[in-house]
Amino acid sequence: MRYPDRGGARFAAFRARCAALIATALVVSGLTAGSASRSAAASATARAGAPPYRFLYDSDSAPAKVASYGWNLIDVGSRWSADQLQRGAKGLVWVGDYDNSNCAWEVSNPTLTKEVKAAVRDAKVFGYFISDEPNPYACPNAPAQHKARSDLIHSIDPAKPTVIVLDSNGFKGLFTRDALDQMPLWKGTADYIGLDPYPCRQGSGCHFSWIDKTIQAANAAGLNYWGVVQAFNDSSWRWRTADELSHMLNQWGASKQTGYMTFAWTWSGNNLSSKAALLAIFRRFNTGAAPRRCVVPKVLGLTLARARVAIARANCLDGKVSTRYSTRRRGHVIAQHPRPGKRLANGGRVSLVISKGRQR
């Protein structure tokens, strides 16, 4: 989901689609209320700590307060906004959406190029959020278009990742198979792919089994994914209870996610800032559990995207990324620091050197 001020036409279309999805929800196969709204006491698995990257939608209105609850990636619309963030927080820059109505980008390549060039070597910019809920069924070329846009950004700024979020709630109806079947189409289209199954609707329990299905499909497709946690209220979806939120965080925490996102600080006139009990759970998850130590993985010879996956899964953070000419294939890691196997303190960073190919 995005917001009215970042794409009003899509917001109106989203509202209409919500109504249609809710109307079909009661006939969705295999997701009856009895089986799907399992008690949060029957928790997914053992509790897991928060991943290294923690993003909150629509958080630029109160970045300091948001950071105090343990989110470290702030939703910003420009490099300038990222530069104003306090120490320890970085900006994930929204660079315009993909329009499913005409299968084209809202922002032109020249405009995007100018914005990315301005952010090269800016340490406060984490990366670029390039698309939220593209529809590959309405736009069959969307995956190829997203890969091309990600490649364009990396040709200018190879050190920063690209992020997209997939509609994980269904296209033909609510919790329909098409949301799962799309996943192989998106492999390699961005560095991180968000998945946003929202299980808790107004007037019903939470369909936690849909999150399990989403995770299984993402693992099978080989995606480098971030879970998107539901923390909002509107006419279709509702606030989570404290137990439900803990359950959802534990589900995603036990998955192979390399980061996670939360929707949203503000949405549809409702504010997460008013929910002290939920914020206490987020703070405990984001900051309370002692993370595992970073053991530096061997990433020599990998592409930058695959190296980032390995680094995140080793509980390490991305360090400096530089490039130099080499006889090695362009875009692959030719040097890393520290050496593989070295144990680092929590938050340890791994710096990489990427091949630019042979000098001509």
Model-wide pTM > 0.85: no
3-state helix, strand, coil in the chain (%, to 5): 35, 20, 45
More confident position, 175 or 46: 175
Among candidate residues 260, 288, 316, the one where a domain is terminated: 288
Please give the pLDDT value at position 94: 98
Closest CA to 133 of 51, 217, 10, 266: 10
Closest CA to 225 of 86, 343, 346, 53: 53
Range ranked top by mean pLDDT from 19-28, 244-253, 337-346: 244-253
Say if residue 159 is in the same domain as residue 281: yes
Let me know: does 228 contact 261? Beta carbons within 8 Å. Answer: yes
Say if residue 177 is in the same domain as residue 325: no
> What confidence tier does 290 reach under pLDDT thresholds 50, 70, 90?
low
Say if residue 176 is in the same domain as residue 311: no
Q: The CATH number of the domain where 181 resides is what?
A: 3.20.20.70
| Rounded Cα–Cα distance for residues 298 and 347 (Å) | 17
Please give the pLDDT value at position 142: 99
pLDDT at 358 over 80: yes
Name which of 9-18, 37-46, 201-210, 277-286 the model is least confident about: 37-46
Please give the pLDDT value at position 291: 52
Within its chain, how far is the Cα of 41 from the centroid? Answer: 27
Say if residue 103 is in the same domain as residue 210: yes
Mean pLDDT (whole number) for 348-358 = 94
Please give the pLDDT value at position 39: 34
| Rounded Cα–Cα distance for residues 115 and 120 (Å) | 9
Let me know: does 260 contact 57? Beta carbons within 8 Å. Answer: no
> What confidence tier does 49 reach under pLDDT thresholds 50, 70, 90?
confident
pLDDT at 309 over 90: no
| Rounded Cα–Cα distance for residues 230 and 261 (Å) | 9
pLDDT at 46 over 60: no
Mean pLDDT (whole number) for 312-328 = 89
pLDDT at 313 over 90: no
Among candidate residues 240, 262, 288, the one where a domain is terminated: 288
Please give the pLDDT value at position 292: 65
Residue 360 covered by a domain: no
Residue 143 covered by a domain: yes
Burial 301-332 (b: 16+ CB within 10 A, else e): ebbbbbbbbbbbebbbbbeebebeebebeebb
Say if residue 166 is in the same domain as residue 219: yes
Say if residue 204 is in the same domain as residue 334: no
Residue 237 covered by a domain: yes
Q: Bridge partners of 351? A: 337
Please give the pLDDT value at position 118: 97
> What confidence tier does 167 reach under pLDDT thresholds 50, 70, 90?
very high
DSSP codes of every residue in 228-289: EEE---SSSB-PPPHHHHHHHHHHHHTTT-SEEEEE-SEETTEEGGG-HHHHHHHHIIIIIS
Say if residue 126 is in the same domain as residue 199: yes
Please give the pLDDT value at position 19: 46
Number of domains comprising the chain: 2
Say if residue 211 is in the same domain as residue 183: yes
pLDDT at 296 over 50: yes
**For the segment 214-223, what is each residue's pLDDT rounded down to a tens digit?**
999 999 999 9
Say if residue 268 is in the same domain as residue 330: no
Say if residue 143 is in the same domain as residue 50: yes
**For the segment 96-107, what is each residue's pLDDT rounded down to a tens digit?**
999 999 999 999
More confident position, 50 or 353: 353
Domain boundaries, position 187? 4-288
> What confidence tier does 316 reach under pLDDT thresholds 50, 70, 90?
confident
Within its chain, how far is the Cα of 9 from the centroid? Answer: 23
Say if residue 15 is in the same domain as residue 150: yes
**For the segment 214-257, what is each residue's pLDDT rounded down to a tens digit?**
999 999 999 999 999 999 999 999 999 999 999 999 999 999 99
CA torsion sign, 184 to 130 to 283 to 294?
positive
Among candidate residues 288, 318, 336, the one where a domain is terminated: 288
> What confidence tier does 282 reach under pLDDT thresholds 50, 70, 90?
very high
Say if residue 283 is in the same domain as residue 308: no
Q: The CATH number of the domain where 328 resides is what?
A: 3.30.10.20
Percent of the chain's residues with pLDDT above 70:
85
Mean residue pLDDT of the chain comes to: 88
